[in-house]
């Protein structure tokens, strides 16, 4: 039996951060992990998918933009899929190894195995080496989530895959059917198409990324996906599959009729479910809601006072950076610092082509919250010198502000490096900035970041690099 001040269950982007912060605050800390350090994100999610997206983005640039720039490649570019996957894995291994070094450097005890509560104060850890026990004054549950499996499509992670299997193909599949047009399905569809796969998306909603991102941003990505040759069936429902000569025959319902499509691989990306049904939470008396999320308060404390939960397992949004934020917060609360989860916005990024990023509210959300008088404008990347020089001009920066106060309410970006640009918007919204704060801040030239300044200027009605109506006397006075 080992005794600790803090025991963290799960080493994903919430768990390992919580363990490090706990140790930094002087707590004797342990972290339990049944698989690889870093959890889903570092090993089979965020990091490997971005590695594959980066590689295929470079491939696409070489195939489509280099010749225009005068960069001629003699012969075609051969993709060695096994080497590509090996490189992707090396990226994951470096990140996981880095987490291991950070935990060691902060004297965190790593316990390998599957953790289950025996009581509210004790857990058992089962592994191939046997079973051990650990007690803790405090526990932080960071057990994450897993892909949702739908009827008729059992995962084997070889032919019928979740995102995990789709990131480990050792050869380029000729035909892929993707069930679900959410952000995970679209990200993987995008890179597979660039590798040369025929991709068909079966989406139950009337549009891609419905309810996930700003509709205008989604339209830009949808147009490019369709232009690239990705087939998308909207309002369609996957019903089943069967093995046939040369692959799998997938049956889906469309407009009341059964349709069929044949594929070599099937990717199911209809969402993720929290792991609230694992770790024998009942033995500790931890409350779990009907959706499988652990019930927590604003401090991420469960109904059991010395047990906390962070990340995907405790509620939406199920995003790595939200989990890391909570991973810093909870140990500080345990140490006596008076903190609560009070983020004004949690940014969201979709690594499609082009990227989508958002902070704050959409126009519809603003109106739901009572902001009926809004200032809204877009600034296109096509009017930005850096974007033009990169040959990546699709998309725009869209800003939404309260017309009465000019306080920034939402920023939605679709275009090159949207994932990097959105952090400025997060800071602005957290600080309660007005549009003028962004517009009057000098941004370096030539950069993609200038689009933020110009979008703010456009929202005020006087962007320099797009043509807008003259301000007029009233607007001049308001601007002054």
Residues 233, 176: Cα–Cα separation, whole Å: 14
How deeply is 415 buried, as exposed, middle or buried, from its count of CB atoms within 10 A (0-12, 13-18, 19+)? buried
DSSP per-residue string spanning 399-418 = EEEETTT-BEEEEEEEETTH
DSSP β-ladder status, 348-350 and 355-360: antiparallel
DSSP β-ladder status, 130-141 and 307-309: parallel
Residues 162, 151: Cα–Cα separation, whole Å: 14
Question: What angle, rounded to 10 degrees, do the helices at 15-24 and 81-105 form?
Answer: 20
Q: Is 445 a catalytic residue?
A: yes
Angle CA(27)–CA(32)–CA(36) in degrees, nearest 5?
125
Cβ proximity of 454 and 384 under 8 Å? yes
Residues 139, 7: Cα–Cα separation, whole Å: 5
DSSP state of 15: H
The CA dihedral of 317, 318, 320, 324, to the nearest 10 degrees, is 60
From the candidates 114, 325, 412, 445, give the one annotated as an active-site residue. 445
Query: Which whole-number Å values give the CA distances from 250 to 16, 131, 155, 253, 452, in the listed order?
Result: 40, 43, 14, 10, 44
Q: Most distant CA pair in the chain: distance in Å? A: 79
Q: Looking at the annotation, which residues are catalytic?
A: 445
């Amino acid at each position: 039996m080992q005794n600790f001040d803090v025991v963290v269950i799960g080493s994903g982007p919430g768990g390992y951060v919580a363990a490090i912060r706990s140790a930094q605050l002087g707590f004797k800390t342990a972290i339990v992990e049944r698989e690889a350090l870093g959890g889903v994100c570092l090993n089979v999610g965020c990091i490997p998918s971005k590695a594959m997206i980066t590689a295929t983005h470079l491939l696409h640039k070489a195939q489509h933009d280099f010749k225009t720039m005068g960069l001629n490649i003699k012969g075609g570019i051969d993709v060695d899929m096994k080497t590509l996957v090996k490189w992707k894995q090396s990226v994951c291994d470096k990140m996981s190894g880095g987490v291991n070094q950070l935990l060691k450097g902060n004297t965190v005890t790593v316990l390998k195995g599957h953790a289950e509560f025996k009581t509210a104060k004790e857990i058992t850890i089962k592994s191939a080496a046997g079973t051990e026990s650990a007690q803790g004054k405090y526990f932080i549950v960071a057990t994450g989530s897993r892909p949702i499996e739908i009827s008729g499509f059992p995962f084997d992670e070889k032919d019928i895959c979740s995102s995990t299997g789709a990131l480990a193909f050792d050869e380029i599949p000729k035909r892929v059917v993707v069930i679900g047009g959410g952000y995970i399905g679209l990200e993987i569809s995008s890179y597979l198409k660039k590798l040369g796969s025929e991709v068909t998306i079966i989406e139950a909603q009337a549009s891609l990324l419905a309810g996930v991102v700003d509709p205008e941003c989604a339209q830009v990505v949808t147009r490019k996906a369709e232009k690239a040759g990705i087939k998308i069936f909207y309002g369609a429902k996957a019903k089943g599959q069967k093995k046939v000569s040369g692959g799998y025959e997938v049956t889906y319902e469309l407009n009341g009729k059964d349709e069929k499509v044949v594929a070599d691989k099937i990717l199911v990306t209809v969402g993720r479910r929290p792991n609230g049904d694992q770790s024998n939470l009942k033995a500790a008396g931890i409350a779990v809601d009907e959706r499988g999320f652990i019930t927590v308060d604003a401090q991420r404390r469960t109904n059991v006072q010395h047990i906390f939960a962070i990340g995907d397992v405790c509620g939406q949004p199920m995003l790595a950076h939200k989990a890391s934020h909570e991973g810093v917060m909870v140990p500080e609360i345990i140490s006596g610092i008076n903190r609560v989860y009070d983020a004004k916005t949690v940014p969201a990024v979709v690594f499609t082509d082009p990227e989508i990023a958002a902070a704050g509210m959409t126009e519809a959300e603003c109106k739901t919250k009572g902001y009926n008088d809004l200032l809204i404008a877009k600034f296109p990347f096509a009017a930005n010198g850096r974007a033009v020089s990169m040959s990546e001009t699709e998309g725009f920066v869209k800003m939404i502000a309260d017309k009465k106060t000019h306080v920034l309410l939402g920023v939605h970006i679709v275009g090159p490096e949207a994932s990097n640009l959105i952090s400025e918007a997060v800071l602005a919204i957290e600080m309660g900035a007005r549009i003028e704060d962004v517009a009057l801040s000098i941004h370096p030239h030539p950069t993609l970041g200038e689009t933020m300044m110009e979008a703010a200027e456009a929202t005020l009605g006087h962007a320099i690099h797009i043509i807008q109506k003259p301000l007029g006397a009233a607007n001049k006075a308001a601007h002054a």
